[in-house]
Amino acid sequence: MSQDQQQLPRYSGIATFMRCAYEESLEGIDIGLIGVPFDGGVTNRTGTRHGPRDIRVQSTLMRSVNQSTGIAPFELCKVADVGDALPESPFELERSHKSIQSFFEKVVEAGVLPISAGGDHSISLPILRALAKDEPVALVHFDAHCDTGGDYLGSKFHHGSPFRVAVEEGLIDPKKTIQIGIRGSLNHKEMWKFSHDSGMRVIYMDEFYDLGVDGIIKEIHKIVGETPTYITFDVDGLDPAFAVGTGTPEVGGFTTFEAIEMIRGLTGLHIVGGDVVEVSPPFDPSGSTALVGATMMFELLCIAAESLVARKDSLAC
């Protein structure tokens, strides 16, 4: 990112993620910021297809340096907005997932680490299919819901099931998966049985407040260890006071500050990608939920850049 571009008025220019250059070529890029404007997997309120565009607009408020951690991601890595993984057949869910997977396969083949903005949470599945072809990855999952449900209205592919399917397809290691922020009412008592039976570490909100942020961070590092890790952040993990613009809000969630602290606590992990999902701008005309999405995306970018540089330094030794 050029200093001149960073100094332009926030309301000027073409909106890209973090005001990065838009690049069609993946050559020479370390981290690609990607939009996935798809919400064909929602079970409640639609609108997350508009998430990437609004997150791009709000991300013009992100600056060059993380004031708290000192990380300057654009100095550490070449970061670019590489466009949208736009489904060719947006009215057909499984074909849409194949289109998204194909886009991310090119990203992975180019050696680019993807940080994405959705889109509904079903988009994590095709991304993981591209990232975890050779071996399963660990998963750090911030959400109000486990998203390990079964068939719903005749389909197992929806935003409430991606991580069940990901386990079944060998994309994530359930014993190296941690789900944080789970809460809300249920249709039946064993709605998240798959998470528990498969060995996932599920942290409900009651335990969240018993452990505190520092305890959560320690638990994440204990579960994940040095395994290559994907991070997925659903904004409905936040209390709706902080993220009203989402499809399935649940009261009683964590705060934006707690979320930021948890993401910053992931420093030292072997990060291979991440996403921020379920920002639904039509339900928040103020743009504040999109700003939350942009901020979480920036925090993910910072720890991903640090992780990438640490691996390169390790290989150089």
- 143 appears as a binding residue in the annotation: yes
**What pLDDT score was predicted for residue 151?**
72
pLDDT by position in tens, the chain (length 317): 555 677 788 888 889 999 999 999 999 999 999 999 999 888 888 899 999 999 999 999 999 999 999 999 999 999 999 999 999 899 998 999 999 999 999 999 999 999 999 999 999 999 999 999 999 999 999 999 998 987 766 777 777 789 999 999 999 999 999 999 999 999 888 889 999 999 999 999 999 999 999 999 999 999 999 999 999 999 999 999 999 999 999 999 999 999 999 999 999 999 999 999 999 999 999 999 999 999 999 999 999 999 999 988 877 75
**What pLDDT score was predicted for residue 4?**
65
- 236 appears as a binding residue in the annotation: yes
CB count within 10 Å of CB 264 equals 17
4 DSSP assignment: H
**What pLDDT score was predicted for residue 153?**
63
- 275 appears as a binding residue in the annotation: no
Cα gap 53→14, rounded to integer Å = 11
Report angle CA 9, 243, 202 to the nearest 5 degrees. 130
**What pLDDT score was predicted for residue 9?**
85
- 145 appears as a binding residue in the annotation: yes
* Distance (Å) of CA 52 to CA 160, 171, 202: 20, 25, 28
**What pLDDT score was predicted for residue 42?**
85
- 4 appears as a binding residue in the annotation: no
13 Cβ contact partners less than 8 Å away, ≥ 6 residues apart? 5, 19
pTM across the whole model: 0.96
264 Cβ contact partners less than 8 Å away, ≥ 6 residues apart? 68, 69, 299, 302, 303
- 84 appears as a binding residue in the annotation: no
Domains of the chain, by residue range, sit at: 3-312
CATH superfamily of 3-312: Ureohydrolase domain (3.40.800.10)
